[in-house]
Chains A and B, each alone.
Chain A
Amino acid sequence: MIREQYVNQPPKPNSFRAGPDEDGRFGIFGGRFVAETLMPLILDLQAEWNKAKTDPTFKAELEKLGAHYIGRPSPLYFAERLTAELGGAKIYFKREELNHTGSHKINNCIGQILLAKRMGKTRIIAETGAGQHGVASATVAARFGLPCVVYMGATDVERQAPNVFRMKLLGAEVKPVTAGNGTLKDAMNEALRDWVTNVDSTYYLIGTAAGPHPYPEMVRDFQSVIGEEAKEQILAAEGRLPDLVVAAVGGGSNAIGIFHPFLDEGGVKIVGVEAGGKGLDGDEHCASITAGSPGVLHGNRTYLLQDGDGQIKEGHSISAGLDYPGIGPEHAWLNDVGRVEYVPIMDHEALEAFQTLTRLEGIIPALEPSHALAEVIKRAPKMGKDEIILMNLSGRGDKDIFTVGKILGMGQ
């Protein structure tokens, strides 16, 4: 799709890893589009984050919790049967679904709650779509003894019931949000309203690499452990870097986490997979880059699904975690500078990939990485047997089995 305003592509930078600038911008994307009430807090957070990221004590604490609480490093797994079945490139999974709480979300939550403690905050709020980030937030809040409120769209509360139950068991209060379609966007609005009201006591633990600066940078840095480990592991296993790295993109935190350490490796092709929902012709998809346009929402400028008046559309995906009408600003920039290719995968393709992996490898993936997997299944057979694909298997599918069972018409 050609957009007129981007006929003049921005120049290629020397490094794709230098952003954001001090105002939190990745090219025209990112920034700090928030109400004045939040601005002082965001500046405090930035100052605290700047201190923490160069503080060896912080790094040591993060690594210790990573190793003994999350279970890092997560394995790199060669999917032998899937590779044989597809008959092309060798497929490796970065097994983030084996982390404590079942997805990559915990990497970011541990980092941010350590920051919240340093800032003296006494209450945690979070938004969640699939519930993975809500569970991870509730988990770290329990681990650090802080009360936690999770905002979740009413539609998602229904379709991700197991995660709602987990959050409640962990002591979090789950507040269903009925505004709009009752999905992730609406949950985020409500979390921002809570934050603006309780600004003194409350830390907003954003789950994806989006929102006002410094969140996109901070979340990326906490998630980059995925790519850093994967790089070492693939070098150990194959003696070289992969030819292709693939990850699913909703807000984009698991994707930026695995992409970022590979961005300056010229020989590595990188593909982000958006939720194509029921197809890009109507409104029932969440392909913000493929079918959206630049706009400002939730504190940052990025690609959004919106109408000609700048009203945000609701979008649709079978996967609650991808059901968001925007995308992290760094992805928007990586698209415009041409470093990462973004493609859509439809609901039914993700569903097929979900079943393929379950049967061939005995791994039940979440519906989010099932989108990445569907793209891998398309590309692997067209690649040589000596080529290597690295995919981020960002979450496990336990939370999705009822949704999938219902669609497939399986008995209870």
Chain B
Amino acid sequence: MTARMEQRFTDVAAEGRPVLVTYFMGGDPDFDTSLAIMKALPKAGADVIELGVPFSDPMADGPAIQLAGQRALKAGQTLAKTLELARRFRAEDQRTPIVLMGYYNPIYVYGVERFLEDALDAGVDGLIIVDLPPEMDDELCIPALEKGINFIRLATPTTDDRRLPKVLENTSGFVYYVSMNGITGSALPEPALIAGAVARIKTHTQLPVCVGFGVKTADHARVIGASADGVVVGTAIVNQIASSLTEEGGATEATVPGVEALVRGLSAGVRAARAVAAE
């Protein structure tokens, strides 16, 4: 586990609140705006950054993230440029963990060894690769762990107690609990169900459990954050970006401030999650 990830979870836990994990698509709507968004996230209260790597065929994503990926690809984003985003961010912020999230093919084509070296060099702390289940650990998970990069796994409602140990075996950093079966951006299920699922996962692991899929508002963040170690917000941020763009999909003056305002609200939500005032 990279020291940065562990440190961040320890520090936030000491504040008595859940971690706020924020996702955005690298290169959406263009490289420079996306770098500005990335830099704005920690200032608005994000604790961990999930940096989306665009892919032409995002099978597990809903329309919002599909469109964000298409905008990024159209603007010329590549895996190499997404690593460059991380590197440029890291030059100014040495403490906020960066997790790359995407699909395996761009990494496979880039070359696993070369990718891991470049990711480590760019200051990347973890990977979430949607289409690499534990059965495929030899591909990227094991090599990443050997290099000291976290491999964060998704657990879902279909991951039963029989399967959980296998899913958790090589997971590091944190566990990302996907609160429903489905694609990103769907509706949020009952908080009680989520709390039960988090408790179930925690009987199998010491790792922090973050919950995502469906968290859209500060109130959601507060409710989920009551039981989880962290709250992941993705589609809401991507939608915020999309709503600020010109008809041609270009950035406007409202793009970065819009994300800042949303994340500030979400941050207030996680800070109210356990009725413990922080900061």
Contacts and interface: CB of A to CB of B under 8 A. Distances in A.
B201 to A, nearest CB: 13
A227 interface: no
Nearest to B156: A37
A197 B131 contact: no
Given A35-B154, A197-B181, A297-B105, A311 B55 contact: yes
Interface in B184-221: 186
B262 interface: no
Nearest to B130: A35
B78 interface: yes
A40 B158 contact: yes
A74 B135 CA distance: 40
Contacts of A301: 108
Interface in B38-66: 55-60, 62, 66
Interface centre among A31, A33, A39, A304 (most CB of B within 10 A): A33
Given A296-B104, A296-B108, A197 B182 contact: yes
Interface string B133-159: 111100000000000000001111111
Interface string A320-343: 000000000000000000000000
B109 A37 contact: no
B159 A40 contact: yes
Contacts of B121: none
A295 interface: yes
A288 to B, nearest CB: 14
Contact of B110 (A33, A34, A39, A310): A310
A37 B158 contact: yes
Chain A: number of interface residues, binned into ranges: 35 or more
Interface in A15-43: 23, 31-41
A125 to B, nearest CB: 14
A310 B106 contact: yes
A308 B110 CA distance: 8
A357 interface: no
Contacts of B110: 309-310
Interface of B: 55-60, 62, 66, 73, 78-80, 103-110, 130-136, 153-160, 163, 167, 178, 181-183, 186
11 contacts: A33-B136, A189-B58, A189-B59, A193-B59, A197-B181, A294-B108, A295-B108, A295-B109, A304-B105, A306-B109, A311-B73
Interface of A: 23, 31-41, 179-180, 185, 189, 192-193, 196-200, 293-299, 301, 304, 306, 308-312
